[in-house]
Structures are given as C-alpha cells and as structure tokens.
Chains A and B, each alone.
Chain A
C-alpha cells in the first residue's frame, strides 16, 4: 500500500472554503487522484495531480507537493450538495494501475 492518510471527518458552513489534506508515502509515487462519493453511490472523479502545483477546476482545486508527499483538495463556495466523502487515492509504480485509497474524509456542510 501507499499509506494514504486523511482526516476522518470535517464540518464546514455553506458558502465557506474548506481544505481537505492528504499525505502519502512518496516511494514509487506515480500520481494522485481525488474522488467524491455520496452515500450509497459510486465514487466520481474530481481531479488528478502528478506534477507539483495547483490544478483548478471550477469550485474545486487540488494541490500536490511530491517532495513532501502531500496533497490537498480545496472546495470553494460550499454548497449543501458537497456533503459527501472525499477519497484521496495514489498510484504507485510498484502496484501497477491499482488505486490505493485512503479511508476518505466525510465532509458535512451545514447551513
């Protein structure tokens, strides 16, 4: 595995900004994904980072630092529908094309 570590739960207010952090072991690192998963539904792809820096896509942005083994997902202008689990997943040259997921961060957006 890649020892993906992310907080278990977070709470934020509608309209606010929230940052969900993820750390991983850097050995063999080959790319990092973020997925969103609503309860009982399929994980849906949000972002992919393989190079250092920030990738912006609408209200969602993802950042990667390869040297620090660190990524974050930034959600702006939070909406109630953003309440979901956010999964950080790494790919590793030692494990082929499998995604190694963290346990997920359950985000609750409150009014």
Chain B
C-alpha cells in the first residue's frame, strides 16, 4: 500500500506569492493533519481535517487555509508568502480523528526568497 504522498517535494517561491501544497492520505484514512517544521524545531500543528470538516486549527495567521476533498485528499494554501514561511510542510493521515496512529508523509520543502 502507498503511504502518505505529498506534492511537490520541493519548491521555491517569491515573497508575496501564493502556494498550494497537496497531500494524499493512506487509503482508508479519513483524517489529514498539516504541520509546519522549521529547521531545527519540532513540527507545529496547523490544521486537522476529518471527514472533510475542519477539526482543529493551530496558531497560524489567516493567510493559511486548507480543505479536504471527498476522496480525503487535502490541500494547504498559503497566501502572501513571507520569508518566515520557509519550512518543511508535513501532512499526516490517520484512520480516525484521534491523535493516535499518525503516519507522516515526507513533506514539501518550501523556500521563500
């Protein structure tokens, strides 16, 4: 079975631009969570979706938004990019909305210049 897949793996954007990151969960998993990992730090929670509903939101500005599609895949959108948005963006899927059973993808490395 395929694991959690994220695309793209790397991208470079200019300040002020917009970016869309994509995540496909493990087949059968209905929950997707997004985390931001700045170099040298632990992942920081951004969003959780379960059954296409937002279940939780971390302490991130409104420039960050996400959605989950009927097939349970998800997109993370970031508007008006800042240099500080440069990070590894991780997607985790789990069978239910509970914290247990997270499987992470390899992430998308975003660099803002």
Q: Does A pair with B?
A: no
The chain A residues found within 8 Å of chain B, CB to CB, are none
